Amino acid sequence: MTTATASVLDGNTIAAQIRAELAEEVRQLTAGGSPPGLAVVLVGEHPSSQIYVHNKIKACRELGIHSEEIAAPASITTEELLAIITRLNEREDIDGILVQLPLPEQVDVKKVLLSLAPEKDVDGFHPVNLGNLAANRPALVPCTPAGVMEILHRTHTPIAGKHAVVVGRSQVVGRPMALMLLNHDATVTICHSKTIDVSQFTRQADILVVAVGHAGLVTDSWVKPGATVIDVGINRITDPVQFRSLFAGDARREQSFKEKGFTVAGDVHPRVAEVAAAITPVPGGVGPLTIAMLMANTIKACRMRRGADRRGGR
């Protein structure tokens, strides 16, 4: 395996910096009144969702944010879930509401997400918040792309005037990511599943953000030498053939794969590190920033609701 030359953009370190700053903000808010409050609604007993919710509640505890987990049965109806959200919308001690996805098939997800009060929508998915993002107005924005922006800012990566290419157009990452980069004066191209010859665009990118859920999709031949590459993908690899195609020669990964029977890979092939100037690892890159930015959104929602947010948005 060729030695990687790209500098590693360590998400764990950046997330720790953000958490330290947020803890101080919480102390200031609590000194002037009650702490920020986050309610997380968990429907059913989906194992992954339970882990995610546990991690979010744990992060709240560590920062001093008041948190509540509202558990609901998998048999819940749309109307019953809407009633829960209505009560949370009306509570003054709750600044942020998060409905953990996925939801059961019988629940109308769009109707549920639309029912959230936009000022408490800490996931940033409500059309009002997405509209404010598009208009470059202060808003609660989706956590993962907000985390990407923190990585770029805190590593002093130039954005203004640069060509940024976003691969993926989901409402959760791709579209808001493109808007955030545009709001910071990048020239932005969005690629997706219907784009013809995606690589012709990715090779032009000074900043390349990939969020498609396809392990190793972007190879070294797709990347401009010296680019900054942000890998948002998280893919569980269990097939030995696929593992070897991505990590052959990586002794640490090979040992871990042998012991666990799986590994986690991004959407960017490891060989890209031989071409890029900087790259986020998977795991340990964008992932740690997502919960950190959820905490930031909760505090921002609290400040906005109390009329105390004069910073224009994180």
Classify residue 82: in a domain, yes or no: yes
The total of structural domains in the chain comes to 2
Which spans in 116-247 are helix H?
A: 127-134, 143-154, 174-183, 199-202, 240-247
Classify residue 58: in a domain, yes or no: yes
Percentage of the chain beyond pLDDT 70 is 96
Same domain, 159 and 107: no
Domain CATH number, residue 76: 3.40.50.10860
Residue 1 has pLDDT above 90, yes or no: no
> Which active-site residues does the annotation give?
56, 100, 123
Classify residue 76: in a domain, yes or no: yes
Q: What is the pLDDT of residue 295?
A: 98
Query: What is the pTM (predicted TM-score) of this model?
Result: 0.93
pLDDT tens digits, one per residue of 82-136 = 999 999 999 999 999 999 999 999 999 999 999 999 999 999 999 999 999 999 9
Classify residue 181: in a domain, yes or no: yes
Classify residue 71: in a domain, yes or no: yes
Report yes or no: 301 and 119 within 8 Å, Cβ to Cβ: yes
**Sign of the torsion angle spanned by Cα atoms 40, 46, 52, 58:** positive
Q: What is the pLDDT of residue 4?
A: 55
Classify residue 130: in a domain, yes or no: no
Same domain, 146 and 268: yes
Q: What is the pLDDT of residue 32?
A: 77
Query: Tokens 């009002």 identify what position?
Result: 128
Domain CATH number, residue 149: 3.40.50.720
Q: What is the b/e burial string over 129-146, where b = at least 16 CB atoms within 10 angstroms of the residue's CB?
A: bbebbeeeebbbbbbbbb
Same domain, 188 and 217: yes
- H/E stretch holding 43: strand 37-43
The whole-number average pLDDT for the span 143-167 is 98
- Banded model confidence at residue 306, pLDDT cuts 50, 70, 90: confident
The whole-number average pLDDT for the span 178-195 is 98
Same domain, 176 and 284: yes
Q: What percent of the residues of the chain are helix, what percent strand, and what percent coil, each to the nearest 5?
A: 45, 15, 40
Integer angstrom CA distances of residue 110 from 50, 129, 132:
22, 15, 19
The whole-number average pLDDT for the span 232-256 is 96
- Banded model confidence at residue 10, pLDDT cuts 50, 70, 90: very high
Kindly state the DSSP code that residue 85 receives in the 8-state scheme: H
Classify residue 10: in a domain, yes or no: no
Same domain, 213 and 277: yes
Residue 208 has pLDDT above 70, yes or no: yes
Same domain, 241 and 159: yes
pLDDT tens digits, one per residue of 124-143 = 999 999 999 999 999 999 99
9: three-class secondary structure by DSSP: coil
Same domain, 75 and 145: no
Classify residue 220: in a domain, yes or no: yes
Same domain, 48 and 147: no
In which domain, by residue range, is 284 found? Answer: 141-288
